[in-house]
């Protein structure tokens, strides 16, 4: 049986690489960047005025001038004027510094009468003050963004500043989720006492959407080999990634591994030394599509999806891996089995600035109601069984 680390490695190695597509800039947020973004111009592109006020030549101040006739007004967006000796140009934030000016004096420091600006008594401006020098942020041609970034709002600003109306990002993975189980009934449908609400499919779709993988539809199939074969085959025709829930344990109704083998899906592994989620199955379909068969227990399905499917989709999208996040266990945990434990937690921070993980007991791996108050789970290594409060652990947020 693979360890959770080996299972993740096997999955990442098997993921296909999704192609890039060009999207309009407003549609790029949250997508994975697939090109280099280079500065179109210097930033700022000119010596930028940082205050509303007047622009003068510092030399005139140094020579004793305190009153400056206002020669003209120049707003942001106006071409730069040329300053006359001994004069001032009334200037606005964002304007290009007038030629021959090298000092900006804020409006609060001057009094204006009869077209003449006089400095406040005793005010001593420094040369170059309130001027954001051309290219002081970066020069034209500087690489601003590298491929593999998930585009954040500030990145959208950078891409816009580089003059790009369209940008190359990874095409969304076509992902399909199939819930298996005779007992399952979708919300909104009549339900008998012996039946179960189908909750995994909607939860898995929501989890993937939260991580930027939104092209995801959900289907339900009974525990019947012929029906499973048809549904899995039809979904594999269109999907890059197929996720099954249920039907991978040792029960008589657990047909998923056999049906997948029948359809030519090559098994990579079945079972991982972890809890919850031990029965998980993974394989690769003939066209290279990744197939995840998750245990049906709701806690197991969600943990396996977050732990394996989300990083796999990120890898296929060409996203750079996230650095692990650590938290400190808030209370003792004992977990005896020789398995990696994924313990659901809620996260709080204390006044010392530490992130604390508070274990939340789930009453069996079917207890999804307890999960709704959690932020994620921590990984407790299988080599150990007692984890005292204060132990540093890797935390994964839903
Ligand atoms: P299985 O992995 O198919 O043996 O299912 C394990 C348990 O999870 C059973 O109690 C199922 O009824 C339950 N289960 C399976 N799929 C779902 C689902 N989509 N929503 C809620 N519960 C499920
Ligand atoms: Mg089942």
CA of 75 relative to ligand 1 center, distance in Å: 66
Tell me, in angstroms, the distance from the centre of ligand 1 to residue 180's CA: 8
Q: What is the dihedral of CA 387, 390, 394, 398, to 10 degrees?
A: 100
- pTM value is 0.93
Question: For the domain with range 21-43+137-170, which CATH number is right: 3.40.50.720, 3.40.50.300, 1.20.140.10, 3.90.105.10?
Answer: 3.90.105.10
At 328-365, the pLDDT tens digits run 999 999 999 999 999 999 999 999 999 999 999 877 76
Centre of ligand 1 from the C-alpha of residue 295, in Å:
7
Q: pLDDT for 118-143, tens place per residue? A: 999 999 999 999 999 999 999 999 99
CATH topology of domain 48-132: Molybdopterin biosynthesis moeA protein; domain 3 (2.170.190)
Would you say the CB of residue 164 lies under 6 angstroms from ligand 1? no
Please indicate whether the domains covering 48-132 and 325-397 agree at the CATH topology level.
no
For tokens 């420091």, name the residue. 109
Q: Are 167 and 20 in contact (CB under 8 A)?
A: no
Q: Which of 181, 252, 368 to mutate to test the pocket of ligand 1 (most atoms within 8 A of CB)?
A: 181
Instruction: Give percent of the chain with pLDDT exceeding 70.
Output: 99
Contacts of 138 (CB under 8 A, 6+ apart): 39, 42, 43, 144
Rg (CA), the chain: 31
Provide the pLDDT for residue 85.
98
Distance, CA of 106 to CA of 86 (rounded, Å): 18
Domain positions in the chain are 4-19+172-316, 21-43+137-170, 48-132, 325-397
The whole-number pLDDT of residue 363 equals 73
Whether the predicted pLDDT of 368 surpasses 90:
no
Q: Give CATH for domain 325-397.
A: 2.40.340.10
Mean pLDDT within 151-175: 98
CATH 3.40.980.10 fits 4-19+172-316, yes or no: yes
The pLDDT tens digits for 7-57 are 999 999 999 999 999 999 999 999 999 999 999 999 999 999 999 999 999
Closest atom of ligand 1 to 295 CA is 2
108 pLDDT more than 80: yes
Q: Give the pLDDT band of residue 367 (cuts 50, 70, 90).
A: confident
Is any atom of ligand 1 closer than 6 Å to the C-beta of 200? yes
């Amino acid at each position: 049986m693979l360890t959770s680390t080996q299972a993740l490695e096997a999955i990442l190695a098997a993921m296909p690489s999704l192609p890039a597509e060009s999207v309009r800039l407003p549609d790029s947020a949250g997508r994975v960047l697939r090109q280099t973004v280079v500065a179109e111009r210097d930033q700022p592109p000119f010596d930028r005025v940082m205050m509303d006020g007047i622009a003068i030549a510092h030399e005139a101040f140094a020579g004793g001038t305190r009153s400056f006739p206002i020669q003209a007004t120049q707003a942001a967006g106006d071409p730069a004027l040329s300053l006359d000796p001994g004069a001032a140009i009334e200037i606005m934030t964002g304007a290009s510094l007038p030629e021959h000016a090298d000092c900006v004096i804020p409006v609060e420091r001057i009094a204006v009468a009869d077209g003449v600006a006089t400095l406040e008594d005793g005010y001593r401006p420094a040369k170059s003050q309130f001027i954001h020098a051309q290219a002081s942020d970066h020069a034209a041609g500087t690489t601003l963004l590298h491929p593999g970034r998930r585009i954040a709002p500030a990145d959208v600003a950078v891409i816009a500043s580089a003059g790009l109306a369209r940008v190359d990002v990874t095409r969304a993975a076509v992902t399909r989720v199939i819930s298996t189980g005779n007992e399952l009934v979708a919300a909104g449908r009549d339900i008998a006492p012996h039946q179960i609400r189908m909750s995994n499919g909607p939860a898995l779709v929501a989890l993937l959407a939260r991580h930027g993988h939104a092209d995801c539809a959900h289907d339900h199939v009974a525990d019947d080999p012929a029906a499973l074969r048809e549904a899995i085959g039809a979904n594999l025709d269109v999907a890059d990634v197929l996720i099954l829930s249920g039907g991978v344990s040792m029960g008589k109704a657990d047909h998923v591994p056999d049906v997948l083998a029948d359809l030519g899906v090559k098994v990579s592994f079945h079972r991982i030394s972890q809890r919850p989620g031990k029965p998980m199955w993974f394989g690769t379909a003939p066209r290279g599509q990744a197939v995840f068969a998750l245990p049906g227990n709701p806690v197991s399905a969600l943990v396996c999806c977050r732990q394996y499917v989300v990083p796999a989709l990120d890898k296929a999208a060409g996203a750079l891996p996230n650095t692990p996040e650590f938290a400190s266990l808030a209370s003792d945990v004992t977990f005896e089995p020789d398995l990696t434990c994924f313990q659901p937690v809620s996260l709080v921070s204390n006044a010392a600035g530490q992130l604390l993980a508070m274990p939340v007991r789930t009453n069996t791996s079917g207890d999804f109601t307890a999960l709704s108050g959690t932020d994620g789970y921590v990984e407790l290594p299988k080599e150990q069984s007692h984890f005292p409060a204060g132990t540093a652990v890797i935390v994964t947020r839903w």
